Amino acid sequence: MLRSRVCDAIGIRYPIFQGGMAWVSDAKLAAAVSNAGGLGIISAMNADEHYVRDQIRLCRELTDAPFGVNIMLMSPHVAAVAQLVVEEKVPVVTTGAGLPGKYMPAWIEAGIKVVPVVPSVAIARRVAREGAVAVIAEGTESGGHIGELTTMALVPQVADAVQIPVLAAGGIADGRGMAAAFMLGAEGVQCGTRFLSACECGIHENYKQKVIGARDIDTQVTGRRLGHPVRALRNPFVNRFAEMERDPSVTEEQLAAFGTGAVRKAAVEGDVQNGSFLAGQIAALVKKEQPAREIVEEMMGECEALLNHSADRVR
């Protein structure tokens, strides 16, 4: 059975994290992934501490296994949520969209295992020094807010730069991607897009169908002008955002206002015209709705088979 330092560090059976996706990753999805032996993660997104507390408590009712909370560092509620996870003694915190250093001493003091998402070697080194137990090296293939480097280039460089375990994210949705990540030096993976089609994922049916129907070239990055590039499935909203971004008469404030609320419109309302359907480049590999347990076990089985038989490929 494939095990790694990630399993031992976090206390999980399989080294698969489910990404903390805004308006997607709630207690129900997180508990399903944790019950399947991976690490389920609740997204704190832009929500306040009351919402996040309810989700943490619900997750604890649904699973006895470890789970995580993803703290989006650009959230207006980040300080209150950072304090809440300490009070609630959440087992694992992952962070995204910024540098978590300011909050790390309190989290570590509370016994929380901190696993930041990093888009570069310098940031990986920095959070390792600050006490992270592992890092998630996320390539630009991911959905949502992204960095510049690809998973293929980023993961081995981060693995060489830090002593702590590295998880790979971005463009991984099956056992082949997982096996490849291990070959690059990763000891675990984080998947977002693949879990959008989990039965326990409560997003609108239109979102699931858009992911299941996606082709290889169907994602697009917008938001570079605002300094926050975001990958989503192409639709009228994304096309309009891209046009506005190119138009010098549109101000940055107007652009930001146009984007506000679009992720919710996609995930909750299934608004195919005005929603932002965040998804990674690997969306086309997601072909059907499946229970989270089946996703985790299928990925593990494929990955183990590939790694076990890799010597057969060498004469």
Q: Is 268 in the site for ligand TUI (CB under 6 A)?
A: no
Residues in the chain: 315
Q: Is 134 in the site for ligand TUI (CB under 6 A)?
A: no
Q: Is 101 in the site for ligand TUI (CB under 6 A)?
A: no
With CB under 6 A as the contact rule, the residue among 52, 72, 133, 203 that binds ligand TUI is: 72
Q: What span, in angstroms and rounded, lies between the C-alpha atoms of 13 and 7?
A: 6
DSSP 147: -
Stretch that binds ligand TUI, among 91-99, 212-220, 242-250, 291-299 (CB under 6 A): 91-99
Q: What span, in angstroms and rounded, lies between the C-alpha atoms of 277 and 211?
A: 9
With CB under 6 A as the contact rule, the residue among 38, 96, 139, 275 that binds ligand TUI is: 96
Q: Is 98 in the site for ligand TUI (CB under 6 A)?
A: yes
Q: Which is nearer to ligand TUI, 38 or 147 (CB)?
A: 147
Q: Is 77 in the site for ligand TUI (CB under 6 A)?
A: no
The two three-digit tokens of residue 252, written as one number: 């940055």
Q: Which is nearer to ligand TUI, 35 or 43 (CB)?
A: 43
CB distance 227 to 213 below 8 Å: no
Strand partners, 222: 230
DSSP 132: -
Q: Is 194 in the site for ligand TUI (CB under 6 A)?
A: no
Q: Give me the helices (H) in the chain, please.
A: 5-10, 27-35, 49-62, 78-87, 104-109, 121-129, 151-161, 175-183, 205-212, 236-246, 252-259, 262-264, 292-308
Binding to ligand TUI (CB under 6 A): which residues in 15-34?
22
H/E element, 138: strand 135-138
Strand partners, 114: 93
Q: Is 232 in the site for ligand TUI (CB under 6 A)?
A: no
Q: Smallest distance from the beta carbon of 32 to ligand TUI, in angstroms?
A: 21
Q: Which amino acid is at 213?
A: G
Q: Is 228 in the site for ligand TUI (CB under 6 A)?
A: yes
Q: Is 145 in the site for ligand TUI (CB under 6 A)?
A: yes
The two three-digit tokens of residue 190, written as one number: 């984080």
Q: Is 62 in the site for ligand TUI (CB under 6 A)?
A: no
Q: Is 257 in the site for ligand TUI (CB under 6 A)?
A: no
Q: Is 256 in the site for ligand TUI (CB under 6 A)?
A: no
| Residues at the contact surface with ligand TUI, assessed by CB under 6 A | 22, 72, 74, 96-99, 117, 119, 123, 138, 144-147, 228, 230
